[in-house]
Structure 1
């Protein structure tokens, strides 16, 4: 499963791990309390991976595409990285699987502290609609990721503050129910 930890508040390069000292790991159970789920897939044979087929069927992920984030493949690379790293939410779940390379998703816990989630080859992560988050590459500066969606893809980020959206209200309510 994915590795996750609480982040320091350093202004150093966003692509560094930013682990607190001493390290404060975050468990899969703690991520699940925030609605974040993770799975391990066969990234080299994802088209035939029965676990991916099961996940897609159970959650009705009907649309899939692949994005490669690297300075040689993504137009407006530096600008896109800045946009991805702005704290935002989506009105739909965000589902990503690293097919190659690596990166970080950062999410807020219930006390608004940042948790960094390392996404490595074969890791699939789902972030619930309404959770504030951001994404950055790590120091390898490369990820090839599969994106899954229910129905037609929607990539619209709503930068914080975006608390008036129904997705945010539902997300906060789900956190209260889990408590």
Structure 2
């Protein structure tokens, strides 16, 4: 995983858009973004490590998604557009990358700048509820990810807007940042 500020230069969203302004894991942690590096070829397998994280964080369900033309078929283009629209969820978004690569763009609060997180096979990323973000593939056009859920699998995006700013999960997230910055 590598994180940096998005350059905001128009062009293909799948390109790196690297501003050459790196973002540290500490900055990400301050925003509630968590990351583990669990190599696919971990001795004993990656599954027991993921199981431990799932138990620790209360994730009860999981599935696998294959975001590619082959995996999504006719829905491929439409799904990519939905994934790249700025949104938040009322649940954590947890992804362990099994193969391929992509970018999670995280909206930094309060600066409102985009932080681009390049995720690769072996990265486990947790995006808290209430965080504005978007996702895109890189130029390889494919990623396979294990998705973990606290309850039944669901993926409901709430597009950024006035109503979303008042969403209790968004309000709780923003308030959590204020309490962290005061300490």
Same fold (TM over 0.5): yes
Q: Do the aligned partners of residues 3 and 48 (structure 1) sit closer, same or farther apart at CA in structure 2, a change above 3 Å counting?
A: closer
Judge which range, 131-140 or 68-77, deviates more. Answer: 68-77
Distance 1:64 1:50 in 2: 14
| Structure 2 match to 1:86 | 85
| Structure 2 match to 1:73 | 71
Aligned mate of 2:23, from 22, 26, 49: 26
**1:45-70 deviation per Cα after TM superposition (whole angstroms, max 9, x unaligned):** 69653321221111111101000011
Gapped runs of 5+ residues in structure 2? none
Distance 2:61 2:168 in 1: 23
| Structure 1 match to 2:34 | 37
Secondary structure of 1:72's partner?
helix
- The answer on whether the counterparts of 1:42 and 1:49 sit within 8 Å (CA) in structure 2 is no
**1:96-132 deviation per Cα after TM superposition (whole angstroms, max 9, x unaligned):** 0110000000001120000000010000000000000
- Indicate whether 1:175 and 2:177 are aligned: yes
| Structure 2 match to 1:149 | 149
| Structure 2 match to 1:132 | 132
- TM-superposed deviation, 1:42: 3.3
Distance 1:148 1:137 in 2: 19
Distance 2:130 2:40 in 1: 28
The count of corresponding residues between Structure 1 and Structure 2 is 176
Distance 1:52 1:145 in 2: 12
Distance 1:26 1:84 in 2: 22
Q: Report runs of 4+ in structure 1 exceeding 4 Å deviation.
A: 44-48
Aligned mate of 2:52, from 32, 51, 54: 54
Gapped runs of 5+ residues in structure 1? none
| Structure 2 match to 1:13 | 12
Q: Do the aligned partners of residues 48 and 141 (structure 1) sit closer, same or farther apart at CA in structure 2, a change above 3 Å counting?
A: closer
Q: Do the aligned partners of residues 113 and 54 (structure 1) sit closer, same or farther apart at CA in structure 2, a change above 3 Å counting?
A: same
- TM-superposed deviation, 1:9: 1.1
CA RMSD of aligned residues (A): 1.4
| Structure 2 match to 1:109 | 108
